[in-house]
Structure 1
Amino acid sequence: MIKFSEYFNEWLYGNDGYYATYKQIGKDGDFFTSVSTSSFFGGAIAKKIIQTIESGFLPKNTTILEIGAHHGYLLADVIQFIYTLKPELLDTLNFSIVERFPKLQEKQKEYIKESFGDIIKLKHYDHLSEVKLDNAFVLANEIFDAFSCELVYTNDKNILQQAFVENHKIKFIDCVDEKIINHCKKYQITKGEMGIGYEEFINTLCKNIKSFEFLTFDYGDRYPRNDFSTRVYEKHEVYPIFEEDLDLKKLYKKSDITYDVHFNHLRDCFKNNNIDNIVFNTQLKALVEFGIIELLEILKANVNESSYLRQTQKVKTLLEPTGMGDRFKILNVKRS
């Protein structure tokens, strides 16, 4: 019998885990992301990066560091839009990716080379602990929902219980882990998930990069909703972890598993590193503030109407208040 966090971690990152080999994202994969929806997602981030540099917060020779780049589509979109909006920056900017899996590193190198030839020099780090930079713009799209988590539940005797897994069956046992107990008390969690590894990740980030702007997008909200959000994605079907008759053994390592991110937990990890310049927002508001509408206006002036309308429809999907626009949240953090 193992803790649910160990089961979750092995599911995604074991030797034959779901993320250990390349997976398609989009209509041919198990799920959609904002990156697979429209290149203007990366375009808006590129515009934000340019604004950060032009404001003087980061220098022109800063590093754009992506963590969890998968195929490299997002970084490529960012580079393409920087080329369109401020091409001279490509002469000074540095581009890096943190990626633990060698096979994915190769995919990323191939895609960036296919897209830009030898113009872009891409540096890889196997782990965040290897990164040592004076400054960086750090981009992390949908990574925290792939950090392992513990499942907790307060029973009818008001006793906090923790999930364990045996033979792909989830069982709850009285929790004796003081860290989990204290975390649940602090955030008033009676039922749901506790993300594992957020503190270590953010502490390492803050230790290894002196000055940075950090931007992350993910499913979730500020406050825990006190319900289980852990779910499995397979070929665009969604299965709640406690759905009746769900066959975890069949889905194990062959599908994606995720949960809603608790953004106040993330925020507090940065605050514990004496950082207070932290903005929480919806994806809708963030992308509009970054300038995605202005990018569409530039497109309108340079392409035919059908191309413009096609891309506008994709951007609407990113911004839809009842869909991605509100369901995804962002945390934008600055340390100077």
Structure 2
Amino acid sequence: MKFSTYFNDWLYGQDGYYTKYRTIGKGGDFYTAVSTSKFFGGSIGNKAISTIQSGFLPSDTTIVEVGAHHGYLLADMIEFIYTLQPQLLDTLTFAIVERFPHLQEQQKKYFKESFGDAVKLIHYNNISEIKLDSAFIVANEIFDAFEAELVYTTQEGIRKNVVVTNHQLGFEPCDDLFLNAICDKYGIRQGEIALGYETFAQNLAQNIKKFEFITFDYGEKYPRNDFSTRIYYKHKVFPLFQEELNLNELFGKSDITYDVNFMHLIDSFNQAKIKNVSYQTQLKALVEFGIITLLEILKEKAGESAYLREVQKVKTLLEPTGMGDRFKVAIFRKESHA
């Protein structure tokens, strides 16, 4: 089978990794910025406030998270919006795009526990269900989970793509027009080619008249020309092509991911007439979103010890050796006339 089908089945198939509720953080397979500190969501909430205050989005816009897992990120955003601009909770609507019913139930339960009836949460099964005049959309680590093909160019210049038979990886000549076009466009000799970025961007553009879209993921603006596909299992990392790696044992029980080619993502959004207004490291983005100011407010309100505890967590988000440089943030905007 194609590698993209194998990848999709691994994560989203009948017994796929994401079809079951997964713990993130110390007890799970991997860490995310959300599991590290509430101030990650808090700074994005602050960014949403500034986008509204600048006049780009109205105060009755919808704040949407795509692929929310437990719902922590959106909940953290709401908590900080309430602290900083409580009146906005009277006008804003909150929504999550989530394909799995069991995760929707977890999210509803968490929101009920966190906010009672103060916050109304809307669920969409996919982007194409959304019909909005405006939205502030956030997605944390979703594009590294889009199915992908793996391509490889031999020393003789023959381009091949990976196929999977009984959990064994093999190569066959690449005759796919889309893959060949992407390889030629970005100079990819070896690596991942994501499928579905173009459709995702088109769906956003068609269904929401005006929006700001912010996404966090690890990757670079240019292809690495190497395979980055890797498997996370109980906080251990296994490169896909590691010798003697038993894919059969790990299939569906671990997370599989790869580095995002942000240039491909940005071009996909541009094709849908969605403008890329910013691309930078997570460190720069979170500082711009006001994370340092939020920590100062915590110090003022809750004291030195609470402040120092949170600073240690936030350091992981910002440190160049941690998530600060490895993770990138792309911000996109679509005007209503586009």
TM-score with structure 1 length normalisation?
0.99
**In the alignment, which residue of structure 2 is the partner of 1:302?**
301
> What SS does structure 1 have at the residue aligned with 2:107?
helix
Q: Where in structure 1 do 4 or more consecutive aligned residues deviate above 2 Å?
A: 274-278
Structure 2 contact 205–273 (Cα < 8 Å) conserved: no
In structure 2, stretches of 5+ residues that fail to align are none
C-alpha separation in 2, matches of 1:287 and 1:242: 34
Alignment of 1:198-213 (within 5 A): 198-213=197-212
Structure 2 contact 205–274 (Cα < 8 Å) conserved: no
**In the alignment, which residue of structure 2 is the partner of 1:215?**
214
Matched, 1:51 2:50: yes
Once the two structures are TM-superposed, the CA of residue 274 in structure 1 deviates from its matched residue by 2.3
> What SS does structure 1 have at the residue aligned with 2:73?
helix
Once the two structures are TM-superposed, the CA of residue 186 in structure 1 deviates from its matched residue by 0.2
**In the alignment, which residue of structure 2 is the partner of 1:111?**
110
Structure 2 contact 64–137 (Cα < 8 Å) conserved: yes
**In the alignment, which residue of structure 1 is the partner of 2:260?**
261
Structure 1 contact 3–165 (Cα < 8 Å) conserved: yes
C-alpha separation in 2, matches of 1:277 and 1:167: 41
**In the alignment, which residue of structure 1 is the partner of 2:196?**
197
Percent identity among equivalent residues? 63
Matched, 1:25 2:20: no
C-alpha separation in 1, matches of 2:313 and 2:276: 31
Query: Which sits farther off after the overlay, 63-72 or 272-281?
Result: 272-281
Once the two structures are TM-superposed, the CA of residue 15 in structure 1 deviates from its matched residue by 1.4
C-alpha separation in 1, matches of 2:242 and 2:38: 35
- What is the identity, as a one-letter code, of the residue corresponding to 1:276? K
**In the alignment, which residue of structure 2 is the partner of 1:245?**
244
Matched, 1:333 2:332: yes
> What SS does structure 2 have at the residue aligned with 1:137?
strand
Query: Which sits farther off after the overlay, 13-22 or 275-284?
Result: 275-284
> What SS does structure 1 have at the residue aligned with 2:149?
strand
In structure 1, stretches of 5+ residues that fail to align are none
Structure 1 contact 277–335 (Cα < 8 Å) conserved: no
C-alpha separation in 1, matches of 2:73 and 2:174: 40
Once the two structures are TM-superposed, the CA of residue 277 in structure 1 deviates from its matched residue by 4.2
> What SS does structure 2 have at the residue aligned with 1:301?
helix
C-alpha separation in 1, matches of 2:95 and 2:200: 17
**In the alignment, which residue of structure 2 is the partner of 1:324?**
323
- Over aligned residue pairs, what C-alpha RMSD do you find? 0.7
> What SS does structure 1 have at the residue aligned with 2:301?
coil
The number of aligned residues is 335
TM-score with structure 2 length normalisation?
0.98
Matched, 1:283 2:282: yes
C-alpha separation in 2, matches of 1:243 and 1:72: 34
- Deviations, residues 60-119 of structure 1 (Å, cap 9, x unaligned): 000001100000000000000001000000000000011010000000000011000000
C-alpha separation in 2, matches of 1:49 and 1:205: 18
**In the alignment, which residue of structure 1 is the partner of 2:121?**
122
Residues 127 and 276 of structure 1: CA distance in aligned 2, closer, same or farther (over 3 Å): closer
C-alpha separation in 2, matches of 1:267 and 1:125: 24
Structure 1 contact 217–331 (Cα < 8 Å) conserved: yes
C-alpha separation in 1, matches of 2:286 and 2:113: 28
**In the alignment, which residue of structure 1 is the partner of 2:185?**
186
Structure 2 contact 62–92 (Cα < 8 Å) conserved: yes
**In the alignment, which residue of structure 1 is the partner of 2:78?**
79
C-alpha separation in 2, matches of 1:245 and 1:16: 24
C-alpha separation in 2, matches of 1:126 and 1:95: 14
C-alpha separation in 2, matches of 1:56 and 1:182: 40
- Deviations, residues 157-180 of structure 1 (Å, cap 9, x unaligned): 111100000010110111011110
**In the alignment, which residue of structure 2 is the partner of 1:67?**
66
Once the two structures are TM-superposed, the CA of residue 134 in structure 1 deviates from its matched residue by 0.5
- Deviations, residues 100-149 of structure 1 (Å, cap 9, x unaligned): 10000000000011000000110001111100101000111100001010
**In the alignment, which residue of structure 1 is the partner of 2:89?**
90
> What SS does structure 2 have at the residue aligned with 1:103?
helix
